Amino acid sequence: MLGEVIGEANGTVTSIEVVSVEQGSPKLKVSMRGSGKAMGVAFTDLVTYTRVEKAEGVILGAGETVWLTEDGEVCTWRGFGIGKPSGVGGAETDAVCGWFQTKSAKLAILNTIASIVEYDLDDNGNYHWTAYEWKHPSW
């Protein structure tokens, strides 16, 4: 069941690398850097993911994120998703799910929930995401 907003972040793409080309579809590694806030904690958002655009116009992706909090703590996220191109310059919209790991006392609740993320990347390489908690209705 979709729950409360966990957090949001904004930033920019810092690099794109070609990993391989498989059956005419390029596999790209995308790195990004930004800032955000989750559960009242400000953080630097460091993201790397790989994406493959399939012939039918669907983007498949998987990635990892590191949050560096203003208190010097670390929270990691790992996930995967599916998306669609939304422009001509690499823009895309994605629906993503994943999970967190952290030793931060302020963010410890994130160790117990899954997340659903709405991710948008514009033609200029700017991104925005909003993450929501996702849990079983009986919890």
Let me know if residue 57 belongs to a domain: yes
18: how many CB neighbours lie within 10 A of its CB? 9
Q: Residue 102 is part of a domain; what is its CATH number?
A: 2.40.160.20
Q: What is the pTM of this model?
A: 0.92
Domain count, the chain: 1
Give dist(CA 129, CA 127) in Å, integer: 7
Residue 76: domain span: 2-134
Of 61, 114, 126, 136, whose CA–CA distance to 90 is shortest?
126
Let me know if residue 127 belongs to a domain: yes
Let me know if residue 139 belongs to a domain: no
Let me know if residue 104 belongs to a domain: yes
* Amino acid, single-letter form, for residue 121: L
Let me know if residue 97 belongs to a domain: yes
Give per-residue pLDDT as tens, 15-66.
Answer: 999 999 988 889 999 999 999 999 999 999 999 999 999 878 899 999 999 9
Let me know if residue 120 belongs to a domain: yes
Give per-residue pLDDT as tens, 77-99.
Answer: 999 999 999 987 789 999 999 99
